[in-house]
Structure 1
Amino acid sequence: MKTNDTHELPLRLGRNPGLQIRHDEIDRQQLTPMLQHYADIKDQHPHTLLLYRVGDFYETFFQDACTIARELELVLTGKEGGKDVGRVAMAGVPHHALERYCRSLVEKGYAIAICDQVEDPAQAQGLVKREVTRVFTPGTVLDAEMLQPRRNNFLAAVVIAGTHWGLAYADVSTGEFRASQGSDRDQLAPELTRLQPSEILFPSDAPDPNRLLRPGEGGDILPQGLPSQFCYTLRSPADFSQSEARQRLLQTFKLRSLEGLGCETLHLATRAAGGLLTYLEETHREQTIPLQPLSTYHLSHYLFLDSSTRRNLELTQTSREGSYHGSLLWAIDRTVTAMGGRLLRRWLLQPLLDLGEIQARQGAIQELMDQPQLRQVLNRHLQNVYDLERLAGRAGSGSANARDLAALRDSFRTLLDLSTAVVGTTSPFFQTLATVPPALDHLGERLYAALVESPPMALMEGGMIRPGASPELDQQRQQLEQDQQWFLNLETQERQRTGISTLKVGFTKVAGYYISVSRAKAQNLPEDYLRKQTLTNEERYITTELKEREARLFSAQTALYQLEYEIFLELRQQVAEQASVIREVAAAVAAVDVLLGLAEVAIYQGYVCPALSEDRQIHVHQGRHPVVEQSLPVGFFVPNDTHLGGLADLMILTGPNASGKSCYLRQVGLIQLLAQMGSFVPAQGAQMALCDRIFTRVGAVDDLATGQSTFMVEMNETANILNHASDRSLVLLDEIGRGTATFDGLAIAWAVAEYLAVTLRARTIFATHYHELNELAMILTNVANYQVVVKELPDEIIFLHQVQPGGADRSYGIEAGRLAGLPAEVIQRARQVMAQIEKHSKIAVGLRKSTPKSTINATVDSPADSSKIAQGELNF
C-alpha cells in the first residue's frame, strides 16, 4: 500500500552515504538559506513531494529527491547543504515539463506541492520569495489529462469508532459529494472497493490503515478488488472533530442545520465529510471547488456485493489480467458520452433494491426499444454533447479555458435538439430533458455571441473573442490593425526611400522589428538609420519612428489581449454561477445515454425484460452469459435454464471439468445483477425475485503476502458468506473443500451445503466434484440435483454445456488433462491409477453405511426438523 506520508518512503541513495540526510534530521541553522526555506516549507506539507522552483528547474531535495529519482528514473545528484552538512540529495525536472512529470507522479499515487517564485528575481534582495501555489494529490486533480474520462476520480475520507464507521467521498471534477455510515466494519472495505478511490483520508490517530480495511477478526487479508497500492493520507484528528466538521459543512453550503443534508444524526459520516472539505480547502487555496450539496445514502438501499463477488463476476475488469476487455462493463457499455460511461459504471456497481426504481429504468428501455427513430435521433445528438459535469467543475474552479467554454456552448445548443427529440415520450427520464433551463439557453447564446468558433488554448494571446462582441475590443483591434499595416507598408516605403531593392523589414521575439540590408549596400543610408546589429552578411538598423511605432504596437497588443482575457473571465464566471444547473442537466443526459445504450444491447443481443417481484423465486428460461456469448461466434453459446427458490433452494451442480459449471454460476449471478440495475437480461424469459446480496466463491488464489494458502482464502470467503447470507441472498459456490484432504473436503462441503439449505435457506447453486453431495436431495426436500451433461465416445468426450436435472457420477478430470495437452503416457498411467482407486475406494460405501436409514427420507418441511438438523441431532 502507498501512503502520501513521505517520511515512510524508502530511500535508495546508491553508494553515497552522505546523501542520506533527511530534512528533519539536521540542525536547520547549518543549512544554506535556500535549503532552510525548503525544509520549512516541507514541514508545512509533510505528506507531499515538494517541487521547488530554482531557475529553469523544479528541484527536490533530501528524501523527496530520492523518491522522484526512483519513480521518474532521474539522475540523483547532490548539492552542498551548508557548513558541516556535506552534500544532500537533489533531483529536478525542467519547468516546461512540469505537468508531464506531475501527471506521472500522481498516477503512481503521490501528492505534489509546487513551490513557485512569487517575485521577480531581478528585484529580489537576498533569497527570492517563494510560496506553494498548487498542490496535486491523486484524489483532488482537476486537470483533464490526469483524469480518466469514463470513470470517477474519488477522494474518500474514513472515520472509525469501534465497529462503527463513517465514510464521505467526493469527485472534485464532477462535484459529486456523498456520505454514509454503518455499524459493521466488514461493510467498509467492499464499499471502498466499489468506489476505488484514488486517495483516502484518515485521522492520524486511526488504527493502522494497512490493517484497518481488512475484514475479519485477525485483519490479515486485504480484500480482493481493493487496489494493492492504494494511496492514503493521514490528517490531523482536529479536522475530523464533530464540532469542526459540522461548522465546515454549514459554512460551505450556507445552512443553519444539517437536517436538509440528511446527516444531522450521522455523526461519523459528518466527521468524515468535514475532514474531506478541510483537505480540499488546503489543497485548492486559490480555487473554489463547486461541490454539490452533500447527500447521504444507506448501504441497505442497494444490492450488496462484497469484494470477492465483484472480482469473481468480473464486473469492470477481468480477474486474471485485470483488463477492461472481457468484463461485464465491456459487454454492455454502448454509451457515447463520458458522463454516461461514468453513470453506467455506478449503476453496475450499485444495483437497486427498490422495485419501483428498477421498473422505471425498464420502462424507459422498453420505450426506446419500441421507437427506432427516437433511438437514432438521440444517439446522433448525444454524440455532440461534451462532458458537462467536468466542464462545469473546471469553470467553477477557475481552471477552464476558452475551448472548455466553447464545448459548453455547443453542448447547450444540442440540449435544444434533445428537448425536441423527446417530445411525446412518457418516461420521467426523458421528460427531464423536455425543457432546457432558461438560464442555460441564455448562457449558450451569450457564449455563442462572444467566442470564436474554435478558440485557442492560450488565454493571454488573444484570438478568443468574436468580432462584434465588444465595441471597445473592436476599436482596439482597429487601431492595432492600423499599426500592423504601417509595418506591412514599411518595407515598400523604405525600399523607395533608399533605392535598395533587397531591403527587408524583419522581426524576432528577442530583437523586435528591424530593417535589414546587405553589408555591401550598407553605404549612404539615411541619417535616421541607427545600427542595431551586425551579422555575417547583413546589417540591421532601427529608426526612432520604428521604435515608437513598435512600442505603441506592443502596448496596444497587450491591452487588447488583456481586454479579451477580462471578457473571457466574465464569461467563465457566468458559467460558474450556473454550475449546479449544468450538472443537473448533465445527470439527466447521462441517464438517457445509459438507458439508450442498454436498449441497444437488448435489441442486438436479444435481451428480455425480467419480471421482478418481492418473493423468493428465480426462473430464467434459456439464460446466457452476457460476456462469453459476445466472445463466441453467433449461435455457439449454449443457453440454460435456472430455477431457484421455488421447489429447490439449493442446486447441487455436478459435471466434468471444463464443462461450463463456473460459467453457469457466473451467468446466473450476472443475470441477477443486470436485472436489479434495471437492465434487460440475456435470456428468452425471466421471472426473478429481488436479492439483498449476491455471494460468489469461484476459484481461489494464494495470498502469499499475508501467508494465506489457497485453502485458507477459500475458507475465509466461505465463512464470510455463511456469516452474512440470508434467505433473500443468492449464493454461488464452486468447489468448496477441494483444497484439503478428500475426507476433510467432503465433510466441509456437505456441512456448508446443509447449512445453506437448512439454516439459511439461501438460494444457492453449489458446483462440486463431490458426487456424494447428490444424496442431499434424498434427505432434504429443498435440494435438487443438476448436472452438466457430456456425450461419451469411445476415445473422447464431447462437452455439451447443457445443465439438466440429475446428478453426475464422474468428473472426467483425466480427459480434461488430455485436452490440456498432458503427455500420452501420463494420461495412460492416470487411467490405470484411477481404475485401481475406483476398485478399492470405500468412500461412498462408508458414507452410506454411516447414514441411518431413518434419515434418508427426512425432510425439512417442519421447523422442528430444521432445528434438529441444524443442531446436529439428525446425523448422516
Structure 2
Amino acid sequence: MGTNKKQTGIAKFFSRSAGAGKDVSPDSGVTPQSTANKNGDRQHTQSQRRLTPLKRSAWEIDNVPTVHGENSIDDVIDLSGTKETQLELHRKKQFRKALGDGEDSHAAALREVNERFSWLQPNNILDAEGHDPGHPEYDARSIHVPLDVYKKLSESQKQYWAVKKMYRDTIIFFKVGKFYELYEDDAEIGAQTLGWKMTITGVGHCRQVGCPESGVEEAVARLVNAGYKVARMEQMETAQEAKAARGPKATIRRQLTRVHTPATATGNVSVEAVHLMALHETPMDSHASACQESRVSFSFAFLDAAAGRFYVGVAPRELLVRRNELSAITQRALMTHNLAMEITNVSAAEFPDPKVFASGDKFQEVFKGLCVPHNIQAMGAGALTALSALCLYLKRANADEELATHAQKVVSYETYAGALCLDGPTLTNLELLENTTGGTEGSLFARLDTCASPGGRRLLRLWLCRPLRDVGAIEQRLDAVSEIVQRPSLVAPLRAALRAMPDLDRAHGRVRNAAAAPQQGLPTWALEAAQKRRLVALDTAVTAVAKAISILREFQSGRHDCSRPLSSTLLTTAAASAPDEHSPAVKTLMDINETLVSSDEPAKGSKTKGKPKAEHRSVSIHPEALWSTQRQSASESQHDILDREIAVTTLLIEKFNAHSSVWEGMEEALSTLDVLTAFAAFTETSCGETCRPTILPPASNSGTGAMLDLRGLWHPCAVPGGGDSTCIVANDLVLGGREPDSARTLLLTGPNMGGKSTILRAASTACILAQMGCPVPAASATLTVVDRIFTRLGAQDRIMAGQSTFLVECTEAAAILQHGTPDSLVICDELGRGTSTFDGYAIAHAVLKHLSSSVDCRLLFATHYHPLTMEFLGSPRVKLGHMAALVSGADATSDGHITFLYKLLSGACPKSYGLQVARLAGIPHEIINVAQQAGMKLEEKLQGAFSKKLRMPLRTEELQCLHDIVRASSIGPVEKLVEAWMSCGKDTP
C-alpha cells in the first residue's frame, strides 16, 4: 500500500504520513496465499494452522474437549472421504471419549463435579472469613475455600482459587497457554451470556468454558456491558522462563490484572456519563443508632471513569456503601427510586475515618498521585471518607494507576447550587428525561435533543436537570439563542462540523486514563496491545482537538456569515476559547502530531501486533522520535524496544495533558454552542407559538409577590415537532402578580381526561425551559425565578419499598410541606385519591389550605373533590378554574355524551363526568346504567356529608356569574354577600 496522508482539522498546521505494510497474522483479515512445496502440493498455511490441534483447543472445535488419541486431526485429514465428514466424525469420537459412552456417564461426571464443589452451593456458601450470609459482617465479594479441598487442587488451580476467594463477585478469565478459561459459576455465566458450550474437563476437572486469546477482549466487553465485573489472570512468564527460573516442574506465575466493571470502564463509548459513587451516611442525632428513624446527612463522591473525572459532593451505575451503615429510611429510599445500579457493600476499613489521615503517610497511601485540592479537609469529614472509599475500591480493582492517579483534580460538587431544584419524583412525574416505560420517546429531553455531538447531548441533559436561578446567566443564554435564530447561516456549517468530529470529551478522558504506563510484568503481547490502545487514544484526541480548534476559529471569523460580528456574550466567549496558533498548547499539539505516524493499516516495522478488527488504522511513533536520545543498539531485544516506545508515549501523553485546561475549555464551548443551536431548532420546529420569556428576580429578593403569567400556553411534548398546529389548544394561566396579596393558587376541577394534568405539566415545563434559557411554548411568558418545583402527580405504589399508593402520596406531600418556599412552584394532581373519600378529602383540604395561606407559593391544585371549591370560594388567595367540556343528550335516564374542549376557564366544574368517560372507554351500557343508579343512591345517603355543596341553590356557572356581577358593582365585599347567601340554605340573595 502506498503512503497515506492524514489531514487534521487545522490543515495548515498538521499533516503526517506513514508507510504501511501488509500483515498476514490470523486476525489481520488478509487472505493467505497458497504456496507450492517441493513435491508440488499446494499448502494453505493459515487454514491448516487453524485445524492443527492445540492442547487447550476445546473451544476452537465447537467447544468440544480435544483428547489426543491414535490419530491427530492432521492424520484424520489424510484419511479417505471428505475432510469435513472425517473431521465431524472425529469430533463426535473425541466427545464420546471425554464424557463416556452414554448419558449415564455424563450424569455421573456432573454428580462428581457437584460433590467436589458442594461448598459453592448456596446453602453452603461462606465468605473468606467463614461468615455465613446471615452474619452482620458477611462479605458477599469473597468465598471460603475449604482447606482440604484447596490441598487437593493442582498448582495452577490453587493460583486461581487463591484469587477467586477474594473476588467471588468478579468473573475471572484464567489464562492457560493460548486460551482463557472460566470455571464453575463463572462458566455458567459465560455459557448463558456468551452462548459458549460448557464442558467438564480441564485442569480442575470442573465445569468450564473459554475462548482463544484473540477473542478475550470482545468477551470481556460483552460481559461488562451485561453488567458484570470482569478480570483477567495473566501469565506473567512463559513456560520456558518458569522452568529456567524454578526448575522443570515450576508453575507459570499468574497475576490478577485490571478489574473491569460497568462503572469503571474507561473505554465506555456511551453518550451518557456512567458513574461510580460512594455514599457515606452520618446520623444527625449522635444519640440515635443507625437503624432508628432519625434524620441523617449524606456525603458522597463519584467518578466518571470514561471522562477521568472525580467529583466530591447522579444516577450511578454502581454504589459503594459501608456494610450495615445505612439506616432503614435510606434503604427504603434506594428501593423507592429503583435505580438501575448495583449496590456493593464494603467493610468499615474501606470507608476509613478521616482521623486516620492525620498522618501524612496514610494520606499519601490512599490518595497517591491524585490531584486533590489543598483545602480538601474543608469539604467535610464525610466527603473525605466517601472519596477515600472510591480510591480504595479502585485500588482493589487495580484501576488506581489508570484512574485515580491521572484523573483531573478533585472537584467539589454542590447539590443544586445556583440551580432550580428538580428532585427525583419531579424528574419522573414530568417525564423530563424518560417516559413512564424507561424510554426517551415523548420526554422533554427527546423533544429538545437535536444536538449534533455527544458532548452537546450530555450538556443538554445537565442543563435540563439543573436549570439556572441567576437572571443574568439566563438572559445570556436567551441572547445567544436569539442571535442564532436571527443568523441561520451560522448554524448549518457548525452543526455539520460538530457531527463529523470525534467525541472530544471522551477522547480527552481516554488519554488522561492512558497516562499510566502498562503494568510491568505483563507478557509481551499484552504490553503491545496496551501500548497500541494508548497510541490510538492519543492520536484520536489530537485529531479531535485539532478539529475543535478549526471549528471554533471558523465560527469566530464568521466565515459563513460575514454580515456582522458575533454580539452575544456566550457566543463570543465560546468562539474565543480556541488557543492562538502561536500558543504553547498549539505548539505542543503540532509536536505530538509530527511524532505520531498514522495509517489505515499497521505501519511497517510497528511493534504493535494483533490489531482488532474494529480498528481502522494503526498508530506508531516516528523512528526519529523513538531514537532521538540515543542510538539503537543491535543487541536490544524486542522487549527493550517496546519499553522505549512505552516511555516515549508516556512523555507525549504528559505533554498533552499539561494543557488539559485548554482542551476542556474548548469541550465546554463546543457543547454550549451545540445546545444553544438545539434551543434555536426547538423554536423553528415547534408547531405552536414560542416566545422569549421575561425573567424577574425572585419574590424573596424583590419584595413583590411571586408570579407566573403564561399566555397561549401549550405542552411541547403533546404534539410532535413539526406537527399540525391546528390540534393545539392554547391556554392562559396567571398566578400571582405584582401585588403581594394576589392569588397564587389555582384550584382546578374538570372532567376526567379533560386536560387538567396536561396543563399542570405544561406550566412546569414552561418554567423549566425559561430558566434553562430556552424559548417557551407560549405567546408570552413572565415569571419570577422559581427555586424549586414540587410535583405530586399520578397514582402508583412502590411494592419493593413496601409503600402503598396513599403512602407515596403522603410522602411526596410531606416533602412539599417541609421544603416549599414562596418562590416554589407546586403541582398537586388529585391528592388524597389513594384512600377513602373522607380521609382523602381531609388531607387534600389541609394541604391546600396550608400551602395557599402559610407558604403562599405558586400552586396548581387539581382535584375531583368538588366540595373544596365551595370551601375556598371566598378566599382571596385561591382562584377557581376548570377544564371546559360540552355535554349533550343528557336527561333523567342518561348523563349524555361529553366532548372535551381542553380550554381553561374560570370558575368550578360541577362534576367529573366519570360515567361519560367510562362510556368512552367501552364499558357496557348496562353496567353504566347500574352505576348511574348506584351513584344517585349514594348521593342521597351522603346528604349531610358535604352540606355546603348540597345547600347550593344555583349551578356553579350561575354562582360564578353572580360573583362577577357583584364584584363589578359597588355593593360591597362579594365574599360576605356570598357567605350570607350560603348560610340561608335555600333563599336566593
TM range (shorter): 0.7 to 0.9
- 1:527-606 pair list within 5 angstroms: 571-605=652-686, 606=689
Letter in 1 for 2:921: A
How far is the alpha carbon of 1:604 from its aligned partner? 2.9
- 1:657 is paired with a residue of what secondary structure? coil
- 1:418 is paired with a residue of what secondary structure? helix
Letter in 2 for 1:395: V
Cα distance in 2 for residues equivalent to 1:749 and 1:687: 29
**Structure 1 752/445 Cα, relative in aligned 2: closer, same or farther at 3 Å?**
same
Deviation larger for 750-759 or 275-284? 275-284
How far is the alpha carbon of 1:784 from its aligned partner? 0.8
Note if 1:114 corresponds to 2:232: yes
Question: Of 14, 23, 30, which residue of structure 1 is paired with 2:152?
Answer: 30
Map of 1:493 onto structure 2: none
Question: Of 587, 608, 624, which residue of structure 1 is paired with 2:714?
Answer: 624
**Structure 1 410/198 Cα, relative in aligned 2: closer, same or farther at 3 Å?**
closer
**Structure 1 213/358 Cα, relative in aligned 2: closer, same or farther at 3 Å?**
farther
**Structure 1 641/148 Cα, relative in aligned 2: closer, same or farther at 3 Å?**
same
Cα distance in 1 for residues equivalent to 2:839 and 2:379: 49
Map of 2:118 onto structure 1: 20
Map of 1:515 onto structure 2: none
**Structure 1 721/92 Cα, relative in aligned 2: closer, same or farther at 3 Å?**
farther
Q: Is the contact made by 2:719 and 2:728 (CA closer than 8 Å) also made in structure 1?
A: yes
How far is the alpha carbon of 1:789 from its aligned partner? 0.2
Map of 2:576 onto structure 1: 434
Cα distance in 1 for residues equivalent to 2:238 and 2:780: 73
- 1:339 is paired with a residue of what secondary structure? helix
Map of 1:171 onto structure 2: 304
Question: Of 278, 283, 287, which residue of structure 2 is paired with 1:157?
Answer: 278
Map of 2:383 onto structure 1: 269
**Structure 1 230/681 Cα, relative in aligned 2: closer, same or farther at 3 Å?**
farther
How far is the alpha carbon of 1:131 from its aligned partner? 0.6
Cα distance in 2 for residues equivalent to 1:464 and 1:101: 22
Map of 1:387 onto structure 2: 503
Deviation larger for 322-331 or 644-653? 644-653
Question: Of 420, 429, 445, which residue of structure 1 is paired with 2:590?
Answer: 445
- 2:228 is paired with a residue of what secondary structure? coil
Deviation larger for 278-287 or 448-457? 448-457
- 2:336 is paired with a residue of what secondary structure? coil
Note if 1:667 corresponds to 2:762: yes
**Structure 1 378/818 Cα, relative in aligned 2: closer, same or farther at 3 Å?**
same
User: Could you tell me the TM-score, scaled by structure 2's length?
Assistant: 0.68
Cα deviation code 1:695-751 (max 9, x no counterpart): 111112222234433222222222222222222221111111112222222222212
Cα distance in 2 for residues equivalent to 1:366 and 1:619: 21
Where structure 1 has 5 or more consecutive residues not aligned to the other structure, the ranges are 1-12, 181-194, 216-220, 476-551, 852-856, 858-876
- 1:517-532 pair list within 5 angstroms: none
**Structure 1 588/291 Cα, relative in aligned 2: closer, same or farther at 3 Å?**
farther
Map of 2:695 onto structure 1: 612
How far is the alpha carbon of 1:456 from its aligned partner? 4.4
How far is the alpha carbon of 1:382 from its aligned partner? 2.1
Map of 2:20 onto structure 1: none
Q: Is the contact made by 1:153 and 1:198 (CA closer than 8 Å) also made in structure 2?
A: yes
- 1:240-259 pair list within 5 angstroms: 240-243=352-355, 247-248=363-364, 252-253=369-370, 258-259=374-375
Q: Is the contact made by 1:201 and 1:235 (CA closer than 8 Å) also made in structure 2?
A: no
- 1:462-541 pair list within 5 angstroms: 464=618
Note if 1:234 corresponds to 2:346: yes
Question: Of 335, 356, 359, which residue of structure 2 is paired with 1:222?
Answer: 335
- 1:202-221 pair list within 5 angstroms: 202-204=321-323, 206-207=325-326, 212-215=330-333
- 1:227 is paired with a residue of what secondary structure? coil
Question: Of 652, 658, 673, which residue of structure 1 is paired with 2:753?
Answer: 658
Map of 2:94 onto structure 1: none
Cα distance in 2 for residues equivalent to 1:776 and 1:14: 75
Cα distance in 2 for residues equivalent to 1:839 and 1:14: 73
Q: Is the contact made by 1:392 and 1:575 (CA closer than 8 Å) also made in structure 2?
A: no
- 1:322 is paired with a residue of what secondary structure? coil
- Identical columns (%): 28
Cα distance in 1 for residues equivalent to 2:645 and 2:618: 7
- 1:813-824 pair list within 5 angstroms: 813-824=914-925
**Structure 1 243/114 Cα, relative in aligned 2: closer, same or farther at 3 Å?**
farther
Cα deviation code 1:114-146 (max 9, x no counterpart): 1111211344343221111221012110124xx
Note if 1:798 corresponds to 2:863: no
Cα distance in 2 for residues equivalent to 1:773 and 1:472: 81
- 1:269-348 pair list within 5 angstroms: 269-283=383-397, 284-285=399-400, 287=402, 290-299=406-415, 301=417, 302-319=419-436, 321-348=437-464
**Structure 1 335/233 Cα, relative in aligned 2: closer, same or farther at 3 Å?**
farther
Cα distance in 2 for residues equivalent to 1:100 and 1:465: 21
Map of 1:681 onto structure 2: 776
Map of 2:820 onto structure 1: 725
**Structure 1 348/20 Cα, relative in aligned 2: closer, same or farther at 3 Å?**
farther
Aligned length: 731
Map of 2:467 onto structure 1: 351
Cα distance in 2 for residues equivalent to 1:68 and 1:435: 48
Deviation larger for 122-131 or 802-811? 122-131
Cα distance in 1 for residues equivalent to 2:496 and 2:707: 41
How far is the alpha carbon of 1:341 from its aligned partner? 0.7
Map of 1:409 onto structure 2: 543
Cα distance in 1 for residues equivalent to 2:171 and 2:809: 40
Q: Is the contact made by 1:78 and 1:89 (CA closer than 8 Å) also made in structure 2?
A: yes
Note if 1:138 corresponds to 2:259: no
Q: Is the contact made by 1:178 and 1:296 (CA closer than 8 Å) also made in structure 2?
A: yes
Where structure 2 has 5 or more consecutive residues not aligned to the other structure, the ranges are 1-108, 121-142, 244-249, 284-295, 515-532, 558-564, 612-616, 629-633, 700-705, 890-895, 953-962, 964-989
Q: Is the contact made by 1:362 and 1:609 (CA closer than 8 Å) also made in structure 2?
A: yes
**Structure 1 300/33 Cα, relative in aligned 2: closer, same or farther at 3 Å?**
same
**Structure 1 391/457 Cα, relative in aligned 2: closer, same or farther at 3 Å?**
farther
Cα deviation code 1:439-462 (max 9, x no counterpart): 443344345545567544897159
Deviation larger for 42-51 or 596-605? 42-51
- 2:239 is paired with a residue of what secondary structure? coil
Question: Of 729, 739, 749, which residue of structure 1 is paired with 2:834?
Answer: 739
Cα deviation code 1:237-257 (max 9, x no counterpart): 3553315668358753556x6
**Structure 1 64/357 Cα, relative in aligned 2: closer, same or farther at 3 Å?**
same
Cα distance in 2 for residues equivalent to 1:556 and 1:207: 55
Cα distance in 2 for residues equivalent to 1:235 and 1:454: 49
Letter in 2 for 1:396: R
Q: Is the contact made by 2:502 and 2:540 (CA closer than 8 Å) also made in structure 1?
A: no
- Provide the alpha-carbon RMSD of the alignment: 3.7
Q: Is the contact made by 1:384 and 1:414 (CA closer than 8 Å) also made in structure 2?
A: no
**Structure 1 727/235 Cα, relative in aligned 2: closer, same or farther at 3 Å?**
same
User: Could you tell me the TM-score, scaled by structure 1's length?
Assistant: 0.76
Cα deviation code 1:531-565 (max 9, x no counterpart): xxxxxxxxxxxxxxxxxxxxx9xx99999999988
**Structure 1 448/845 Cα, relative in aligned 2: closer, same or farther at 3 Å?**
closer
- 1:799 is paired with a residue of what secondary structure? strand
Note if 1:759 corresponds to 2:872: no
Q: Is the contact made by 1:412 and 1:440 (CA closer than 8 Å) also made in structure 2?
A: no
Letter in 1 for 2:422: L
**Structure 1 705/471 Cα, relative in aligned 2: closer, same or farther at 3 Å?**
closer
- 2:807 is paired with a residue of what secondary structure? helix
Letter in 1 for 2:849: E
